[in-house]
Structure 1
Amino acid sequence: MNAQRDRSMLTSLPAIATMLLGLMLLVLAVLRWRDNGWGALVWLVVFILMCVIRTPHSMRNRANVVIEARKDAAEIVLLAAMFLAMMGLPLIQLATGLFDFADYALPDWATVIGALAQIPFLWLFWRSHADLGRNWSPGLEVHDSHELVTNGIYARIRHPMYAAIWIATLAQPLLIHNWIAGFLVVPAFAAMWFIRVPNEEAMMRQRFGDAWDAYCARAGRLLPRRAS
C-alpha cells in the first residue's frame, strides 16, 4: 500500500507543478492586460471559464475503468502540441511578452468578432461535456460502461466539442495578435482534427458497430445533416 501510494504521489507531482506554473502565468497575464490589449483579456476570461467547465468532468471521470486506450506516439504528440498552442504559448506570451517580436496588428472589428465568437464556443463546450457525462475523456479511450451518446447536442452533430474548439481556434488569432501565441493554434488543431478524428471514429465503430453507422447516417460531423 505504501509503495502504491508513493507511486501515486510521484505521478501527481508533475500535474501539481504544471497547475502551479499555469496559475502563476495566469496571474501575471492578468496584471499585464493593458499591455496585451482587451482582446487578450477576453481570452484570459474565457480560458478560466473553460477550465471551470472541464475540471469537474476531469475529476469525476478519473474513476472510469478504461478497457481500451489508443495512446500511440502520434496521439501523444497531437495532444502535447494542442495543449502548448492553445494554452501554454498564449499564457507565456501574455505573462512575459516573450514573443513580442511576432506581434501583428488587426483592426478593432476583427477583435470584436473574436470576442463574440466566444459565446457559441462556451455554450457548445459546456453542452458537449454535459451531454457526454461519464463518456467524456481527454484521450482516445473506451471505458467499461461506455455508451453511445445520441441525445442533446449529439442528436444532430457527432463532434460538437470539436466544433466548439474549432470556433475557439479560429478566434484565438483575432484576440491574441501574435503569430506564435495566437495563430499557431490553427495548424496545431487542424492536424489534430484530420489525424485524430478518423481514429476516434474507428474506435467508436469497433465499439458500437451498426449503431454507430446508423448514427453517422443521421448526424453530421460538425454541422447537422440536411434533411433528405
Structure 2
Amino acid sequence: MISLALAGKALWAFLVVGWYLLRRPFDRRARRSRLTVDRRPGADTLRMAISLTGLGIIPGIYLVTGFPRFASYPGHPMLLALGIIVGIIALVLFRLTHKALGKMWSVSLQLKQDHKLITTGIYKHVRHPMYTAFWCLAIAQALLLPNYIAGFAGIVGFGYLFFSRVGPEETMMSEAFAEEYDVYRASTWRVLPYIY
C-alpha cells in the first residue's frame, strides 16, 4: 500500500507538471512579443527567485531526497484530500487566467505593445486571479507535503512575491491605463471576491 507521504509527493509533482504544461505555450508566445514596459530586471527578478525557491526548489529537494527529514510529520488522509481539491482549483484558475489574458500574459511586470486591459472572463470580478491560483498552489503544497519546511515554503516564497509585487503592479497598470484602470480597480476585488 502506498504511504500518504509518497502519495502527497506524487500529487504535488503532478500539480507542478500540470502547471508547467498549462503555462508553456503562453510563455513561448510571450517571448516573441514586443514589450513597451519591462520592470522584470532587479527587484522583480529577486521576487521571482524567492517564489521559485519556495514553490519549486525546496519542495523538489524534499521530493527527491526527503530532506529535511526532521521537519516531516505523518501524512493525514484529510489533508491529502483537501490538497487535491485545492490543487485542482489552482489548475483551473491557471487555465482560466491564461485563456483570458491570451497575448497580454506575461510572467513578470511587463506590458506588451498595444497592451489591452483585460476585464472580462475571470477578470470581471477579480483583478489578480493568477495570484489567487498561486495562493491555491502554495496551499495545496502545504497540504500535500507532510513536511513543515517543504510544505510551507511555497506560502512563504509566494507570499513574499505577492505582498512586494501587487502594489507596484497596480501602480504600473494605473500609469498605463489611467482612469480605465482606476474604474476597474474600484469595481473588483484584488484576489478573493468579497474578502480581499
> Partners in 2 of 1:180 and 1:77 — Cα distance?
21
**Is 1:208–2:177 an aligned residue pair?**
yes
Deviation at 1:101, TM superposition (A): 2.5
Is the 8 Å Cα contact of residues 53 and 157 (structure 2) preserved in structure 1?
Answer: no
Give the number of aligned pairs. 194
**Is 1:70–2:39 an aligned residue pair?**
yes
> Residue type matched to 2:23 in 1?
R
TM-score by length of 2: 0.92
> Partners in 1 of 2:81 and 2:3 — Cα distance?
17
* Structure 2 unmatched ranges of 5 or more: none
Pick one of 194, 197, 206 that aligns with 2:163.
Answer: 194
Pick one of 93, 114, 117 that aligns with 1:124.
Answer: 93
Change (3 A) 1:225 1:210: farther
Runs of 4+ aligned residues of structure 1 deviating over 6 Å after TM superposition are none
Deviation at 1:124, TM superposition (A): 0.5
Q: In the TM superposition, what are the counterparts of 1:146-161 in structure 2 within 5 Å?
A: 146-161=115-130
SS of 2:40 mapped into structure 1: coil
- Aligned partner of 2:73 in structure 1 is 104
Q: In the TM superposition, what are the counterparts of 1:25-104 in structure 2 within 5 Å?
A: 36-104=5-73
Pick one of 157, 170, 176 that aligns with 2:139.
Answer: 170
SS of 2:146 mapped into structure 1: coil
Q: Percent identity?
A: 34
TM-score by length of 1: 0.80
> Partners in 1 of 2:88 and 2:66 — Cα distance?
27
SS of 2:73 mapped into structure 1: coil
Deviation at 1:150, TM superposition (A): 0.6
* Structure 1 unmatched ranges of 5 or more: 1-32
Computing the radius of gyration from Cα coordinates, the structure with the larger value is: 1
- Aligned partner of 1:185 in structure 2 is 154
| Larger RCO, structures 1/2 (Cα 8 Å, 6+ apart) | 2
> Residue type matched to 1:37 in 2?
L
What is the CA deviation profile of residues 118-157 of structure 1, one whole-angstrom value per residue up to 9, with x for unaligned ones?
1211111100001001111111111212110011111111
Is the 8 Å Cα contact of residues 4 and 75 (structure 2) preserved in structure 1?
Answer: no
SS of 1:37 mapped into structure 2: helix
Which segment is superposed worse, 198-207 or 168-177?
A: 168-177
Q: In the TM superposition, what are the counterparts of 1:131-146 in structure 2 within 5 Å?
A: 131-146=100-115
> Partners in 2 of 1:82 and 1:90 — Cα distance?
12
Deviation at 1:45, TM superposition (A): 0.9
What is the CA deviation profile of residues 61-92 of structure 1, one whole-angstrom value per residue up to 9, with x for unaligned ones?
11111121113533222100111110122122
- Aligned partner of 1:15 in structure 2 is none
